[in-house]
Amino acid sequence: MASKKSVPVKKRTKASKGTRRSVRISSTVKYMKDDDSQDDSIHDLNATFFAEDDSLEQSDNLTEHALIIGGLHLARGLGSVPLQMEYKNWSSEALESYLDAVCTALGTTSALLAGCKNNGEVAALCQLVLSSLERALCITVLPSKACGDLSGVSPDYVVVAPMSKRSRSKRDTKSPKEEIAIKTRLKESTIYVLRGFLPIISLKMELPNGQTGKVAAYETVTWLLVKIISCVSEDIQLNANNQPGKLIRVSNGCADSQTPKRVHRKSISFAYTPAPGTNKPTSHDLTPMDMLQPPSLKKSITPHRTRSAANTSFNECPTVHPILSLIMGMLHKLFTSKGLERADARARVTNIGITCLTHFPSLEREKLLNFIGCMCHSKVSSHRLLAIEIIGEVLCTGWYWVDFCKMKNGMITPNIGLDKSSNREESSPKLLEALHGRLTDKSPTVRMRAAISLGEVIRKASAGREEKKNLVNIVENTPQQKDSTTLDACVEEICKIGTSLVDSLRRRASTDDKATVRKASIVAWLEMLSLAHRERNENCVVSGLDISTLCALCNDSSVATRKAAAEALTNLVQANYNFEKYTAQASALEMAWAHTVLPLVRDVELTCVTKSLECFTSLIIEPIIEIETRAEDLLEKSNSRHLVAWRILSKISLGSQEAGGSRNGTVSLQTALQKLFVNAGKDCKLLAKNLLKAVYQAGSLSLGLDRRHTDSIISNHLGSTFQPIRAGAWCLLDALTSCLVSGNNTKQSVANVSLGQAVRASSIDFSFLALSLNKFRTFINSDDVPHEKRASLVISSRDCFRVIAKMASFVPIDDAEGCFSDILHDFKSYRVPIDLTPAAVSALVALCKRLCDESGKDVFRDSEEWITNLLFHCEHAMESSFALFARRCGSRQEEEKLTRILFLVGELTMVGFSSEDTLGMGSTQNLATEREPLRGLIIHPSAQLLQSVKLMLPNFMPMSGSSEEVLVPTPSSIRAHAFITLGKLCLRNETLAKECLNILARELHQNAPSDPAVQTNALMVMGDLCVRYTNLVDKYLPFMAACLQAGEEKCPDVGSNSRLSITLNGNAGGYSLIKKNAILLLSSLILQDYIKWRGLFVFRFLAAVADEDDEVSCLARTAIRGPLLEKQPNLLSSCFVESVFVFNSCKAHPIYATAASNGGAGYVEIDIERGLLEGRERYHKRHEVYQMMLNNMSDEQKLKVTTDIVKRILGGALETSGDLGIVCRLAPQARAKISGSRVESATYVLRDSFAILSSPHIKVGRRASEETEPDDEFVEGNDAKADQRNFNKERLLSKISRKHLMEIVIPILSNLKSVLEASRSQLLKDLMQYLGYIFRSFKQEVAEHLANDPILLQELEYDTRQFEKKQRESILNAEIVPDA
């Protein structure tokens, strides 16, 4: 066919004539539009390209729009170049230039398209250009078998005039040399294309429309790259199916040839002309180039990427397709490029990596995954982080587990790089192991990302099992067998390492120093436990260690960690809904939730409060409101939602009876309800009404008051099923009424709802309160109730009394009269247990007000009347019981009765008391309020009653006319309650307090033969009196401080120097209770400024750190390094040197005297009669205290302590006067002339000083001195600046410390060494050990400063060699104990 003549697009203008040199390429390319078409019309493609000089003068007629349109037409012409006949003969330089231009045009056009959505003409033209350029790149890179949609393209990528079928078949037959040349050409083209793709994928090419344009070009190139991979993969699969016996993957010279070098070219030639005398180059003649060679990580971990060039069969040695090999090389370069510290760059590289892996064949996929696995061990943390992110995404895909299953079943030949002896069935996937191993990475960001990836993999596997999802698609209604198989494989492999994975995540969550790592580990840990729980994996169950660790994490310093731990505990509790059997594990989880998650509603951080409220609502409130009306439905399932809620509430109620922080459970419950009402807004009234109804129904049912239910259910109201419902219902009702304001007063609660409004809205008959009280009275007074159930009934009865005290105004008047008389009768018969007495007295006061309001009587006078009457009965009963004990006729029942009487007297005396009342004010009604109707009432007990109480304080009961031989010992329980009652009487009477302080102080004396429980009560009374009458009690502070070491003279010293667990040693005979109460009480008084540190008070507190009882020791540590150190940051550093003298009882030294007199004149000094920690046997205890003090000091404080020890102690030893100087100069034979205790104390002061200075805990700037940089290179913003400032500060302090050692410490030690050598002192050994420590740490600096003392330097060098020799011998001679 004849072709039309080529016509230029535009003629040159006159202005540009002579000023522009151009090269015009005009060609006519003929091709058939359709092979089967009968139309012989020929389409001409005319293109004109201009290469212009920099001096080109632009025409004024061209606008920006015209330039864009012209550039797009030019780019469209570029897309038709591969259709030219001469294209196959272009040189490598011309081909590289052309493909570079095509890639640039592709990126620019994609960027323009992203910004011209409103310009239809430009957008349409951009779409045409993109299609043309993409077709050109596909023709260049893909073989014809992979480009079936490109009609008219021959296998050698040249489009010619139509040929007959016979001539085309001849054309298809090529010689081996031609095939090698074609494949070499194909590889060169692929290299050039990928070289153009690389800056676009890395977003490093400058394109229009800024970041939007770069992202659009990235998406286009990614799509095109995926298309190339897909076509090659389909071609490989097609060849594998059609020719199974022939070679599928060949490893020829083309595949192994190196990348051609980019040469500097001066001119562009579009035709390749061989040099004279040379043949056409083969693949071995190509110039090498390493730009797209797969990048190297490290020699130790970089996989081998070179293969032999020998051709082998697929079954023996499969090889990677050449095009896919080049793409893998580009991915290697992307994976190890710079800038991966940014999250957006990693996300972009991860996306393209996962996309390519999805479309790769199995062999290429396996090789790339091996490379990614090796990246996990790179020295560059950004490489490890990227590898972890990619592995996390890979493990969530279905194709990975399909390949894994096929490899296990032998359907895929493993990669030759793998160990053939390894059994893949017995080991978990290497990628899963890589994630597990990175949990201990040096970089916190890598550790965090590894935990996040593990959690995501486990979560998706668990969700697939639960919701019939698979790993290939999001949701499948009818999943195929293959998908379920891959999901089973994923879950199976995760469960194989479940035990070790849980241990690692738990350890990382509890011990990692970064909050982000702890939070991510908690999330992954929870997912693993949930999966094991769902799969019924007995090897990976929630253990007590898991629960205790989560409880500790709920008190973590990090807000995110506390929230994650609270959510984890909540989810674990909810996981037991589906279990029929109530296990000990479920009970422990509920107890942990009640005492750790619920108290977070009082957290200082608002987000923690919000998270705790969410958990509280989902776990407690919602299930209770959803309770059905029938009891059979209520008890249908043992682990139903509402029963779990009642059990948790019952545990809160039971915990309120315990000592310590668990008592805050009821307060936390009230706070949670209060905040719920606030958040409910206008719906708070509805919420209060529904809660009251639910509690009324549960409480009535648990006590058998609801007659609508069957008798069989009512008869079992004391059973184990109703017990948590009863305890939980009354606990919730108590907290609910505490949140709402009672009655018709004008004061409203923060929830804007009153108790009266809620009661009226619920329409509940509150006569059930009187019925419930009668039921509880019957249970308490009955002997048929089992002993193990009596404690729960007492707690529920207490809650019932509290509810009546707050809701007495709603009780019907007849029921109120009956309840008042019944409670008063129980008090007069002394049948009310001590635990119920305070609540019962409050209920009596409230009921009295209810009756007085109804009858119009004065509540003050009426209350004073029945209280006085009740005290009169107590006085007579006390005298009769006391007489029985004096005649040795008192029984256990009489002892219990007497303790109840004593406690009731104290409670009745405290009616109307308020700590805010002014001292010396008499009884007055002016202070009464709606909630405290008797505030200001003062009841003065009779003198006879006071005398009866005082008679029970001594160890013996004296009787008139009796001799000393017949004195009867007073029971300890009676004495303990007598002290409590006396303290309550003293709070209401200042004159009585002045008289009784000596009695209390005598009881606290160390030599007092008293029971620990009695001393504890006396201490608590003294603390209350210190708050009430501070000036009176201040002089008795030494007796209170002595309680920190209570019982030490009565108990043997064990001398333990280690504490590996929190255990109660039980070696103090109950005195640990006194010590713990003393620590808590004295810490509280110090924080509230009721008492001050003076005398040796602080050293008594510090000595408690080394107490034999682990609980006392831990409590003292927590108090000192927590609130006390926060109140006074310099507390430890200011008394460190003094503590060395005090603990060694070196009383003759002025430093000890100064410390003992600290606190100013006019105060009673707190002294120590006997040494606290002196002597050789308490050496480890002293250093335990020193270590605690140093660990809680800053670097500046450590530097100050070092200076003080050297100057005040070691420098003082150089003086001729004083015990320290005498000990250093004292000859061994002259020691007998001085008191042995003084010599020993001074000696141990110096020994302790040398040991402290040699301790690693006093080292300043430890991280900076080790020349280590900050671990994490991903920290950005303020955190990075803060870390760098801290690092620089540590380095500066380290240099200051080193200068101080060289200029001050070394000279003092040298002089002291001369003194000790002259006297042949035994302290010379300690001094030389410290000098050797300094020499080993700073060998060069010490050698320079000791240049004038070569003898000492030689001694240090010799000692260092001996030390190193012993270290080597100890390592070589270490005994290896074999496993049992």
pLDDT digits (tens, 9 = 90+) for 1200-1216: 888 888 888 888 888 76
Residue 1114 is predicted with a pLDDT of: 93
3-state SS, residue 259: strand
Residue 656 is predicted with a pLDDT of: 61
Instruction: Give me 724's structure tokens.
Output: 């948590």
Q: What is the mean pLDDT of the chain?
A: 75
- pLDDT average, residue stretch 529-552: 85
User: By percentage, how much of the chain surpasses pLDDT 90?
Assistant: 20
Residue 791 is predicted with a pLDDT of: 84
Question: Does the pLDDT at position 481 exceed 60?
Answer: no
**What sign does the CA torsion over 524, 530, 534, 540 have?**
positive
Question: Does the pLDDT at position 485 exceed 70?
Answer: no
**pLDDT, tens digit, for every residue of 1328-1359?**
888 777 777 777 777 776 767 777 777 777 77
Instruction: Show the beta-strand stretches assigned E in 877-978.
Output: 956-957, 968-969
Q: For residue 1188, which phi and psi values (nearest 5 degrees)?
A: -60, -40
Residue 738 is predicted with a pLDDT of: 85
Ramachandran sector of residue 1333 (left: φ over 0; alpha: ψ -120 to 50; beta: rest): alpha
Residue 1273 is predicted with a pLDDT of: 54
Residue 1078 is predicted with a pLDDT of: 93
Residue 1017 is predicted with a pLDDT of: 92
Residue 980 CB-half CA count within 13 A: 21
User: Can you tell me which residue has the tokens 């030690």?
Assistant: 1309
Ramachandran sector of residue 1095 (left: φ over 0; alpha: ψ -120 to 50; beta: rest): left
Largest CA distance in the chain: 149
Contact 1272, 381 (CB under 8 A): yes
**pLDDT, tens digit, for every residue of 837-860?**
999 999 999 999 889 988 888 888
Residue 41 is predicted with a pLDDT of: 35
- Residues of the chain by 3-state class (helix, strand, coil), percent to 5: 65, 0, 35
Residue 592 is predicted with a pLDDT of: 92
Instruction: Give me 545's structure tokens.
Output: 């260690």
3-state SS, residue 167: helix
Q: For residue 259, which phi and psi values (nearest 5 degrees)?
A: -70, 135
Which of 83-87, 301-305, 356-360, 664-668 tops mean pLDDT?
Answer: 356-360
- pLDDT average, residue stretch 729-739: 89
With residue 997 as reference, give the H or E element that holds it: helix 990-1004
Please state the pTM of the whole predicted model. 0.77
Residue 739 is predicted with a pLDDT of: 83
Residue 710 CB-half CA count within 13 A: 8
Closest among 392, 280, 278, 373 to 335, alpha carbons compared: 373
CA angle 146, 149, 153 (to 5 degrees): 75
3-state SS, residue 40: coil
Q: For residue 956, which phi and psi values (nearest 5 degrees)?
A: -130, 155
b/e 666-682 (16+ beta carbons within 10 angstroms → b):
bbbbbbbbbbbbeebee
Instruction: Give me 219's structure tokens.
Output: 């998406």
Question: DSSP secondary structure string, 610-639?
Answer: HHHHHHHIIIIIHHHHT--SSHHHHTS-TT
Is residue 717 very low, low, confident or very high in pLDDT (cuts 50, 70, 90)? low
User: Can you tell me which residue has the tokens 């020799």?
Assistant: 1365
Residue 836 is predicted with a pLDDT of: 92
Residue 823 is predicted with a pLDDT of: 92
CA angle 497, 502, 507 (to 5 degrees): 130
In this predicted structure, which of 115-124, 493-502, 1118-1127, 1371-1380 has the lowest mean pLDDT?
A: 1371-1380
Q: How many CB atoms lie within 10 A of CB 1009?
A: 7
Residue 1232 is predicted with a pLDDT of: 56
Closest among 635, 515, 607, 522 to 571, alpha carbons compared: 522
Contact 1019, 1074 (CB under 8 A): yes
Is residue 321 very low, low, confident or very high in pLDDT (cuts 50, 70, 90)? confident
Angstrom distance (rounded) from CA 283 to CA 322: 13
Residue of higher predicted confidence among 1064 and 239: 239
Angstrom distance (rounded) from CA 813 to CA 830: 26
Contact 843, 805 (CB under 8 A): yes
Angle at which helices 1195-1204 and 1277-1300 cross, to 10°: 10
Angstrom distance (rounded) from CA 493 to CA 436: 13
Residues ≥6 apart with Cβ < 8 Å to 496: 428
Cα 196 from chain centroid? 45
Question: DSSP secondary structure string, 1150-1161?
Answer: HHHHHHHTTT-T
CA angle 1317, 1322, 1327 (to 5 degrees): 70
Is residue 634 very low, low, confident or very high in pLDDT (cuts 50, 70, 90)? low
**pLDDT, tens digit, for every residue of 323-334?**
888 888 999 999
CA angle 830, 836, 842 (to 5 degrees): 100
Residue 464 is predicted with a pLDDT of: 76
Instruction: Give me 709's structure tokens.
Output: 């239910």
Residues ≥6 apart with Cβ < 8 Å to 1318: 1225
Residue of higher predicted confidence among 963 and 1274: 1274
Residue of higher predicted confidence among 615 and 1320: 615
